[in-house]
Structure 1
Amino acid sequence: MHALTEAQIRAAFVNATRRERKSLTLPPDFDEIDWEKRDFIGWRDPKLPLVAYLIAIVDDEPVGVMLRLGAKQPRRRPQCSLCEDVQLPNEVVFYSAKRGGAAGRKGDTLGTLICSDFQCNANVRAKPSKIFAGEDPEAVRLARIESLRTRTEGFARRVIGED
Structure 2
Amino acid sequence: MKTLTEHDIRSSFVNCSKGEAKRLPLPKQLADIDHWDALDFLGWFDLSAPDRSYLVAERGDEVIGVTLRSPSAKRGFLRRSMCSLCLTSHPGSGVSLMSARKAGRAGREGNSVGLYICADLDCSLYVRGKKQPAPGGRMEESLTVEQQIERTRGHLDAFLERLFV
Q: Is the 8 A contact 2:70 2:96 kept in 1?
A: yes
Partner residue of 1:26? 26
Aligned to 2:40: 39
List alignment gaps of at least 5 residues for structure 2: 133-137
Between the two proteins, the alignment pairs up a number of residues equal to: 156
SS of the residue aligned with 2:163?
Answer: helix
Check the 8 A contact 1:97/1:111 in 2, yes or no: yes
Equivalent residues of 1:100, 1:160 under 8 A apart: yes
More relative contact order, 1 or 2 (CA 8 Å, 6+ apart): 1
Any idea what the Cα deviations from partners look like across 1:69-121, whole Å, max 9, x if unmatched? Answer: 12455663211011112467x81111111000000001101111111111101
Aligned counterparts, 1:30-69, within 5 A:
30-33=30-33, 34-69=35-70
Aligned mate of 2:146, from 123, 130, 142: 142
CA distance in 1, matches of 2:139, 2:68: 34
Instruction: Measure, in 2, the Cα distance between the counterparts of 1:11 and 1:50.
Output: 22
Instruction: Tell me, yes or no, if the aligned pair for 1:58 and 1:157 is still in contact at 8 Å.
Output: no
Counterpart CA distance in 2 for 1:153 and 1:27 is 22
From the two aligned structures, give the one with the greater helix fraction.
1
CA RMSD, 1 decimal: 2.3
1:101 is matched with: 104
| Offset at residue 41 of structure 1 (A) | 0.8
Instruction: Provide the TM-score with structure 2 as the length reference.
Output: 0.85
Flag the 1:86–1:36 CA change in 2: closer, same or farther, 3 A. same
Q: Which position in structure 2 is the counterpart of 1:125?
A: 128
One-letter amino acid of the structure 2 residue matched with residue 55 of structure 1: V
Percent identity over the alignment? 37
SS at match of 1:156: helix
Counterpart residue number, 1:153 = 157
Separation in structure 2 between the aligned mates of residue 130 and residue 57 of structure 1, nearest angstrom: 27
1:130 Cα deviation (Å)?
A: 7.1
Helix, strand or coil at the partner of 2:117: strand
